[in-house]
Amino acid sequence: MHKVVYLFLLFLSLSVMAQAQTKNKSQTTKGDIYNYRSEYNAKTSKKDQRKAKKAYKNSYARQFDVKIEEYEDRMQANAKKYKKLAQEAEKPQYSDPTYFGHKNKPKKRKPGKKKFCKECQIVH
């Protein structure tokens, strides 16, 4: 039993050591990355780099202008909405305290005939 375990451990350790010594081709080092960058930069000229940078800045400016226009449209829509809400709030059912939140003013009844209101939970 012990011999089988020892042989298994020996075989496992040898296989791990063999794999550790071989370099994986898919792994890259920092030097490989720097070499790739220098090759890429050598292929593109300074003029092309300037054009690309300018095109990027122009597209960013256009996108920014579109965002500003969208913002202004939203602000105009909000102003219109708030104006409508302000006009609605001027109605007597919202501004007059005798309405108690009712759409129509509640009736004034005699003390013996007052009813419980389901809307405002007040007897009137």
**pLDDT of 24 over the 60 cut:** no
In sign, the C-alpha dihedral spanning 51, 57, 60, 62 is negative
Query: According to the model, what pLDDT value does residue 80 have?
Result: 97
From CA 14, how far away is CA 121, in angstroms rounded?
86
* pTM tops 0.75, yes or no: no
Helix residue spans in 27-116 (DSSP H): 30-43, 46-89, 92-95
pLDDT tens profile 72-122: 999 999 999 999 999 998 988 888 888 877 888 888 899 999 999 888 888
Tell me which residue of 86, 118, 113, 85 sits closest to 100, measured CA to CA. 118
Handedness of CA 23, 25, 26, 28 (dihedral sign): positive
Record the tokens describing residue 92, joined without a space.
Answer: 């007597």
| Summary mean pLDDT of the chain | 79
| pLDDT higher than 80, residue 7 | no
